[in-house]
Structure 1
Amino acid sequence: MFLEDAFEEYKYYCLARNFTDKTMKNKHQEYKQLKKYLTKKRSITKLEQITHHDLKAYVYQKQKSGLQPQSIVSMAKQIIAFFNWCVKEEYLMANPMDKVTLPKVPKKTKQGFTEDEVYRMIRCWSDKSYLEMRGKTMVAMMADLGLRAMEVRGMTVDDIRDTTILIRGKGNKERVVFASHQLKRILVKYERIRKQFLKSKGYDDPHYFLNYKGDPITHATVHNIVKEAADRTGVKDAHPHKFRHFYSTEVVSNTKANMDIYSLSRLLGHADISTTQRYLQSLTDEKLKVKANSSSPLSKFRF
């Protein structure tokens, strides 16, 4: 089978599984680069010609170009997934990536915002205009629910219920999260201002968050709103994903919540609990101390 034909068939397999546009774009870019390398550098045009030696050379080339270990591993996962599909479809007997050694990725502690930073980033927005109230609501929602930027951007009006919110995560997997009373107060005010804003535009759109024209926001808009909040408050190294780290550590360290890691993993929409565990590595010693003291086995005893 020609390599190009295999990639084309795999593309439609992925589309049938409802992968997101971002995932499909990443896959397309990686397979395009791999095909170019195999055809130009290794004179390979057919799937059966590929060996683990070819793929080792491809990974080595990526390393020589200065690509970081994390990026190489992410790239390799795309290739592994493709060849696993080839084996499943019986186009290949084995996955040639099985014999390719990948670089070790240094473990980095994922840091979130502090409570003070989140408080200031919410408070820096006023409620005097739609765009200001939109900024406040988006920051509050990411902090209170630990949402991804794509999940905020794709939210619709119908997804917002009384106390629950339907979230469409990676791979269009749905989950339900629960809005606190504090967040609900902000949502009610936002929805009132949003309604007035759309009335002035003369039309409606089902997306919950809109731009100044009344159209759905882009992925870049979410990042820009977080950056704007950070600029107003002097918060450093701000990006949407840090709200997920903040949410994770705050929920787990809250002794009243008594949240276990399995429940947290479901609320975050993680497919693998090991991802959730990495989020919790940034728990401070002080928060661990409070959590340990509140859960002491001897706390019920009176000596």
Structure 2
Amino acid sequence: MELERAVDTYLRHVALERGLSDHTVAAYRRDLEVYTAWLRARGVIDAEAVTAELVAAFGAERASADPPPAASSLARLQSSVRGLHRFLVREGRTEADPSGRLRPPKTPRRLPKALTVTQIDELLDAAGPAPGSPDASVAEPVAVRDRALLELLYATGARVSEIVQLDLDDLSHGDLLRVRGKGDKERIVPVGSYARAAVEAYATRVRPALAARGRATPRLFLGVRGAPLSRQSAWLIIQAAADRAALTAHVSPHTLRHSFATHLLQGGADVRVVQELLGHASVATTQIYTHVSVDALRDVYATAHPRAR
């Protein structure tokens, strides 16, 4: 089977049958374009002609590139190559998997950086006034929207891609929010009173005017022209609020997700409950957050143990 056709077939499979996001599929495509171009330069255009030696040489050459790639990028690239060849074997398109001995590099596990509760308050206030505050009645419409967006991100720990895909109907469960995560899997996440008030203020006072500027859409969060808010726009909204709050720490949409998980665990939440709220397939992914609270554990130990000092 011709390599380029094999890649297209594989990408259709991961998009349609495995339900991977457009962002993930695009990353796979970029990786496999690099791989097939490398093979074509060596005269290999058919999937059956790829050998284990070629795959190993490709991996070694990428790993020794100058400048060296990040371990995470190299691991994803190798994962894309392995996924392609395993798929071709399963589908009977090739007889053997030449990537079987390809081993991704070990990526360092970095502790996620979370904001303090005080920093979260400063970020939210910089996005827009809280509902019911003296400034709320004269706030700019986009400030009301931005406050609702950030409140909901922090209150639910949802990914920014999940928040911008929310429809109005996803809010029709009282204090529960229906979130569609990776692989189009749904989960239900509680929403606290602060976020509910902010979203209600936006949905009743601001969204109708924004919706009138564009085509009809069920999306909850809209841009100034009435179109659904994009991930990139949400990122810029968070960056602008962080700049106004003069936060020195790097703040991204994922920072709010990290902060959500960290603050729950510091407050005594069970790690498996946090796993469910975050939509992690494995509790091992969630357990990284348990290491973030080492300083808190040290403080408790120093305060509580009679021979700590």
- TM-score where L is the length of structure 1: 0.88
Distance 1:260 1:108 in 2: 22
Q: 1:26: Cα distance to partner?
A: 1.1
- Relative to structure 1, the CA distance from residue 195 to residue 292 in structure 2 (aligned partners, 3 Å threshold; closer, same or farther) is farther
2:233 aligned partner: 221
Aligned residues of 2:86 and 2:97 also touching (Cα < 8 A): yes
Q: Structure 2 stretches of 5 or more lacking a match?
A: 130-135
- Relative to structure 1, the CA distance from residue 195 to residue 230 in structure 2 (aligned partners, 3 Å threshold; closer, same or farther) is closer
Aligned to 1:57, the other structure's residue is in SS state: helix
Aligned residues of 1:30 and 1:78 also touching (Cα < 8 A): yes
Superposition map of 1:1-303 within 5 A: 1-17=1-17, 18-40=19-41, 42-63=42-63, 64-65=65-66, 66-124=68-126, 125-126=128-129, 127=136, 128-161=139-172, 162-198=174-210, 201=213, 204-235=216-247, 236-255=249-268, 259-286=269-296, 290=300
The sequence identity of aligned pairs, in percent, is 23
Aligned residues of 1:143 and 1:247 also touching (Cα < 8 A): yes
Count of paired positions: 291
How large is the RMSD of aligned CA atoms in angstroms?
Answer: 2.3
Q: 1:234: Cα distance to partner?
A: 1.1
1:211-240 alpha-carbon deviations (Å, 9 max, x no partner): 111111111111101101110011121111
- Relative to structure 1, the CA distance from residue 222 to residue 199 in structure 2 (aligned partners, 3 Å threshold; closer, same or farther) is closer
Aligned to 1:165, the other structure's residue is in SS state: strand
- Relative to structure 1, the CA distance from residue 105 to residue 219 in structure 2 (aligned partners, 3 Å threshold; closer, same or farther) is same
Q: 75-84 or 201-210, which moves further after superposition?
A: 201-210
Q: 1:165: Cα distance to partner?
A: 0.9
Aligned residues of 1:142 and 1:243 also touching (Cα < 8 A): yes
Aligned to 1:201, the other structure's residue is in SS state: coil
Q: 221-230 or 86-95, which moves further after superposition?
A: 86-95
- Relative to structure 1, the CA distance from residue 195 to residue 270 in structure 2 (aligned partners, 3 Å threshold; closer, same or farther) is same
